[in-house]
Structures are given as C-alpha cells and as structure tokens.
Chain A
Amino acid sequence: DQQVKQNSPSLSVQEGRISILNCDYTNSMFDYFLWYKKYPAEGPTFLISISSIKDKNEDGRFTVFLNKSAKHLSLHIVPSQPGDSAVYFCAASAWNTGNQFYFGTGTSLTVIP
C-alpha cells in the first residue's frame, strides 16, 4: 500500500519558469515531510522539509507548501534552472516511527534551457 504518492512521473519546464511538483499522502499520522533530489548514480540529497505545524517553508528558490486537510504537499522551484533537472522524491514520517521515511515514486524534472 503506497502511503505517499507522486502521480506525475515526469515534468518539463522552461528555464526561468516555476516548477511545481506534487505529492499526496494517505496516512493522517504523518507529521514531517521532506523533499529529496536525486541525480543518476548518486544517493538522494535532502532539499527541504516541513513540519505539520506549518503550512509553508522556504529556502532560497525552494518552497514547500503543506495542505493537511487535503493531505497534499507541493514543492515550488522559482526560477527553475537546468541544474535542477533530477528526480524529486517526496517523503513522510510519523512521530511514532522515528526516522523511518515513506517515499513516493518520484517525479523526473527536466528544465529546458
């Protein structure tokens, strides 16, 4: 049972425009959410996180939005750059599972120069 879902396997965006990656989850116990970026032949790299007590967290060009009632989060990248081309994974954890993360299947982002 996939508790974290990323329904868009791929996304293409022009350089300079906004990239929006979406993630849905089913487990209402999840209270901590993360986004990871993964390049080929490398492990996932932590990008940004958000706790369930917030609905928005920003870090430079990256902003994560959390809508708890809809069990939905999104990652906005503005402006998008060619170096952002990678696979992006959404992950979630619950307070009673420590650092056990549940990952989505990933969205492959291509930023076109």
Chain B
Amino acid sequence: ETGVTQSPTHLIKTRGQQVTLRCSSQSGHNTVSWYQQALGQGPQFIFQYYREEENGRGNFPPRFSGLQFPNYSSELNVNALELDDSALYLCASSLMAGVSEAFFGQGTRLTVV
C-alpha cells in the first residue's frame, strides 16, 4: 500500500506565473483535499475532490483550481501567482465513506518571488 506522494517537493516561481502541483492518493482512497499552510499557521482548506468532482471549497479565489483523475490522483493549479501564495501546499487523501482521518503527503514548498 503506497502513501500519499506529492511533486515537486520544492518550487520557485515568479509573480504572475502559473503553477501546477501534483498528488497521488493513497491506494483505495477516492477523496483528495488540498490545503495551504503559510508560515506559522495551520493548514487552510482549499478544496476537495470526490470521484473527479469538486466537493467543497474553502475561502480561496477562483485562480486556485483543481482536477481529480479517474485513478484519483489530483492536481492543484494556481494562476496569476502572488507573493502571498508562498506556502507549503499539502495534499490529503481519505475515504469518503463517513468522516475519517486524512493522510497527508509531504507537501510542496512553493516560493513566489
């Protein structure tokens, strides 16, 4: 059984650019959530995907978008990057059958300069 893996681990982008982050879910999990963790803060919910459809969204602008694929892997896309987008982006997978713990990947550290 594989865990949650994210790529890349680190990334530096310029303000105004676009970025795509990737996540492979834990085997058997059909739900993927994305979180943003700024320095000194707890993870903040961005959105969740269940069976390829968005299933909840946090307080993030539309330039944050996502996809989930038939194999339940997922992408987070951020357009028009801003300096405040610099953060650790965490992907978490879980079973949708009832509320259960989420399993996190190691995160992607995004720096916007």
| A101 CB to nearest chain B CB (Å) | 7
- Inter-chain contact A105/B94, CB cutoff 8 Å: no
A19 at the interface (CB under 8 A from B): no
- Inter-chain contact B42/A100, CB cutoff 8 Å: no
In B38-55, which residues have CB < 8 Å from any A CB? 40-45, 48, 50, 55
B31 at the interface (CB under 8 A from A): yes
Interface residue count for B (Cβ, 8 Å)? 29
- Inter-chain contact A98/B96, CB cutoff 8 Å: yes
Query: Within the complex, which residue of A43, A49, A100 is in contact with B101, where a contact is CB–CB below 8 Å?
Result: A49
Interface string of B51-78 (1 = CB under 8 A from A): 0000110100000000000000000000
In whole angstroms, how far apart are the Cα atoms of A99 and B102 in the complex?
7
Interface residue count for A (Cβ, 8 Å)? 27
A-side residues, CB < 8 A to B, are: 4, 6, 31-32, 34, 36, 41-46, 49, 89, 91, 93, 95, 97-106
Given contacts A42-B106, A95-B99, A100-B45, 16 further A-B contacts (CB under 8 A): A6-B42, A43-B90, A44-B43, A44-B104, A46-B101, A93-B99, A98-B48, A98-B96, A99-B31, A99-B102, A100-B33, A100-B58, A101-B33, A101-B102, A103-B43, A103-B44
B-side residues, CB < 8 A to A, are: 4, 6, 31, 33, 35, 40-45, 48, 50, 55-56, 58, 90, 92, 94, 96, 99-107
